[in-house]
Amino acid sequence: MSVQRSGLSLRTLLLLLVLAAALYAAGLSIYLTLSVGRAAASLGEGAEAVVYQLEDLTHRDDALDRAVTEARRVLDGPAAPDPRALRLIRTLAAAGGTRSRAVTFAKVPGVMRVEAARTDERMSRLGDALTELAALAELGRRGAAREQLRATDSLHDLVGESLAASGDLARSDLLDRQRALRAATTQASRVALGWLAIGVLFIPLSFLIVRRRVVRPLETLEQALVRVAEGDLTVQVEAAHTDELGRLAEHFNDMTRVLRDRAEGQGRFAAAGELLAGVAHEVNNPLMAIAAHAENRLADPAVTEEQRAEMTQILRQARRASKLLRGLLRFVRATEREVGMVNLNDVVRGALDLVSYRFGVDEIAVGGRLDPALPAVQGDAIKLEQVLVNLLSNAIESLRGVERPRRLTVDTWAQEGRVLVAVEDGGRGVAPEVAPQLFRPFATTKGRRGTGLGLYISRQIAREAGGDLVLDPAAGRGARFVVSLPVAAVPEPALPAAPEAAGARSSGPRRAPPGAASLKDLRILIVDDEDAVRRPMAKYLTRRGARVTEAPDGEAALARLRDGAFDIILADLRMPRMGGVELYARLEQAHPEVAARVLFLSGDISQLAEPGNTPVARERVLVKPVELSELERRIVEFALDRA
């Protein structure tokens, strides 16, 4: 994949875009505040000062005007002045002669500050003149008072002129400020339109950048994930940049590459499982025949001791081969989850059997102690066996890289309500830098030979059972893995039923078929296409007292069933023309009472789990090769259950 180098990371790019948007939004606000806000503030402050000043001057002028009017009325009358009128003149003169509001000339616009000061000075003089007029009138000097009235009239006219001039100047100043505000608003509108035009260009540019650097890579990655979900593991994503999404694309490509490699390995493993299942059936049949012939020969009293020893060795080796084959088949063909009470000692023994051939080849000594009083746990025995096989295989792989002697130990014990299994090897151990990645999926130190899923899946299985799988850091040389599971709760025993209740449920003694305590006179139909398997079984069962009929396939079995009834039908699963599964389905549909007497015999029971097949309880399936004595015991038990 060619990668276009880009020094700008996605995080930095998005941060710059957000910062640019913030500066864009803040820039317009700051400009409007500095331009229009300043003009508006100037208009507001000037208008406030002018209004306060004009209101003050107007109130004072009204007071002085009333005082002049009252003085003229007093002096024009024939009688002596009324003292109350004189007091009113003095009060009005005092109110008009002094400023009544705390408005300084510094806040008044400069163009009218001088005229306002002149008006204030004239009003003060007019107030003093009126006060003096009231004093003359009170002393009875009416002539002097009239002379003073003429002087106050002149001052009153001057005050009016000054007040009118102040008003004209105030209006002119306010109009100038208003024009300045209007001009600033017009200029701000032009700038805002230009700023918005820049924003209109910035938005699509930002969209193109985000689409190119974020949206398009995410869409490509999403489409690739959809293809992976549909099963296409060959998909690769082009990493166009070296930013975060580019690195994510590279990680995706690495992931699909690993998945593809693992899928190929898992496919080969699945194919090997299918092949093993078919081979198991073909191998189990001759093993069954060998073991059955050996058992029949051992039952013959005419056999010499040397022949008996040879037959015993043949029987032992056949059973050993069948045990190993059965374990391998169970390991690779585990289909459904079966949770129950499990003794981990049995799980350990089964896992050791599966890998035991490696011990001799690689010269590995196996030791340890299995606690005989180990309590049971709740779990899936096959899944737990898979965990132990993974741990044992890893230990064997580790020991192959060290010099002899090579030793592997497996211990089981119970502690604080938990059951523990430890698998320890004397290998090189786990490197400190590798330990944190041990339980991650696809992490492997075996190169292409390993899937990187063994320890991950093993830990998941342990945790699903309520436990855990850990690497013991306190181990000395080598590696020590510990599986811990909670002790299973022991169910409380059921209370015994009252005698009368027990009698009420049972209408009479259980009736068994003829000779159910043994095989005597038990009618058995054996359905198997292998003569070498069918004949030794028929010979043994006949010798044990049963009445045996043989059939080479399902079609022949149906013909035999039309001729007579049978207590037990022992049918192989895989046969030409009609196998045991089809035979059972036909009987289940037409004669369910006969289908209830069918026992299955096969080297591969996976057919029973295939979709569409009639479900059959596992206790009705005998896995080849089965010992003839075990076959007899299972037939007797099954006959008793069917009675």
The pLDDT, as a whole number, for residue 109 is: 67
| DSSP 8-state class, residue 553 | S
- Highest mean pLDDT pick, 274-288, 314-328, 581-595, 607-621: 581-595
Residue 510 has pLDDT above 50, yes or no: no
The CATH 1.20.120.1730 domain(s) of the chain lie at: 10-220
Quote the CA–CA distance of 456 and 442 in Å, as a whole number.
8
CB neighbours of residue 595 within 10 Å = 18
Own/partner pairs for 227-230, CB < 8 Å, 24+ apart? Answer: 228/256, 228/259
- 20-25 mean pLDDT: 78
For 277, phi and psi rounded to 5 degrees? Answer: -65, -40
Quote the CA–CA distance of 275 and 283 in Å, as a whole number.
12
Bridge partner residues of 308 (DSSP) = none
The pLDDT, as a whole number, for residue 511 is: 39
Residue 174 has pLDDT above 60, yes or no: yes
Percent of the chain's residues with pLDDT above 90? 8
Taken in order 400, 401, 407, 408, the sign of the CA dihedral is negative
- 455-481 mean pLDDT: 84
In degrees to the nearest 10, what's the CA dihedral of 302, 305, 310, 314?
60
Instruction: pLDDT band for 412, please (50, 70, 90 cuts).
Output: very high
Quote the CA–CA distance of 374 and 420 in Å, as a whole number.
9
- Identify the weakest region by mean pLDDT among 34-38, 194-198, 213-217, 366-370: 34-38
Concatenating the DSSP letter of every residue in 275-317 gives HHHHHHHHHHHHHHHHHHHHHHHHT-TT--HHHHHHHHHHHHH
Tokens of 318: 């056949």
Residue 268 has pLDDT above 70, yes or no: no
Instruction: pLDDT band for 173, please (50, 70, 90 cuts).
Output: confident
pTM above 0.75, yes or no: no
Instruction: pLDDT band for 3, please (50, 70, 90 cuts).
Output: very low
In degrees to the nearest 10, what's the CA dihedral of 514, 520, 525, 530?
160
Quote the CA–CA distance of 41 and 45 in Å, as a whole number.
6
Bridge partner residues of 419 (DSSP) = 414, 485
Tokens of 513: 């078929």
Quote the CA–CA distance of 37 and 92 in Å, as a whole number.
43
Three-state SS for 609-627 is HCCCCCCCCHHHEEECCCC
Concatenating the DSSP letter of every residue in 487-514 gives BPPPPPPPPPPPHHHHHHH-SSPPPPPT
Higher per-residue pLDDT: 54 or 562? 562
- Report how many helices (DSSP H) and strands (DSSP E) the chain contains, helices first: 16, 12
For 43, phi and psi rounded to 5 degrees? Answer: -65, -40
- 615-640 mean pLDDT: 81
Tokens of 397: 């792989």
The pLDDT, as a whole number, for residue 487 is: 92
Instruction: pLDDT band for 482, please (50, 70, 90 cuts).
Output: very high
* β-strand pairing of 468-471 with 339-342: unpaired
The CATH class for the domain spanning 513-642 reads alpha beta
The pLDDT, as a whole number, for residue 450 is: 53
- Identify the weakest region by mean pLDDT among 21-30, 387-396, 415-424, 536-545: 21-30
Higher per-residue pLDDT: 486 or 445? 486
The pLDDT, as a whole number, for residue 497 is: 42
Instruction: pLDDT band for 5, please (50, 70, 90 cuts).
Output: very low
> How deeply is 167 buried, as exposed, middle or buried, from its count of CB atoms within 10 A (0-12, 13-18, 19+)?
middle
Span 110-166, pLDDT tens digits: 667 777 788 888 888 888 888 888 888 888 888 888 888 888 888 888 888 888 887
Residue 500 has pLDDT above 50, yes or no: no
- Please say whether the beta carbons of 341 and 376 come within 8 A: yes
Q: Which amino acid is at 107?
A: K
**How far apart are the two ends of the chain, measured CA to CA in Å?**
73
- 278-301 mean pLDDT: 76
CB neighbours of residue 115 within 10 Å = 19
Higher per-residue pLDDT: 578 or 615? 578
* β-strand pairing of 598-602 with 568-572: parallel
Span 560-614, pLDDT tens digits: 888 888 989 998 888 888 888 888 888 888 888 888 889 988 766 555 555 555 5
Higher per-residue pLDDT: 31 or 226? 226
Quote the CA–CA distance of 400 and 364 in Å, as a whole number.
9
The hierarchical CATH code for the domain 340-486 is 3.30.565.10
Tokens of 209: 């950048």
The CATH 3.30.565.10 domain(s) of the chain lie at: 340-486
CB neighbours of residue 360 within 10 Å = 8
Q: Write the CB contacts of 245 (distance below 8 Å, at least 6 apart in sequence).
A: 10, 213, 214, 217, 218, 221
The pLDDT, as a whole number, for residue 475 is: 64
Instruction: pLDDT band for 494, please (50, 70, 90 cuts).
Output: very low
The CATH 3.40.50.2300 domain(s) of the chain lie at: 513-642
The pLDDT, as a whole number, for residue 523 is: 92
Residue 420 has pLDDT above 90, yes or no: yes
Span 331-361, pLDDT tens digits: 555 545 677 889 999 999 888 888 887 887 7
The pLDDT, as a whole number, for residue 43 is: 65
Quote the CA–CA distance of 32 and 145 in Å, as a whole number.
63
- Please say whether the beta carbons of 463 and 470 come within 8 A: no
Tokens of 599: 């026992």
The hierarchical CATH code for the domain 10-220 is 1.20.120.1730
Q: Where are the beta strands (DSSP E) in 418-567?
A: 418-425, 468-471, 480-486, 523-527, 547-551
Q: Across the chain, what does the average pLDDT equal?
A: 77
In degrees to the nearest 10, what's the CA dihedral of 366, 368, 373, 379?
-60
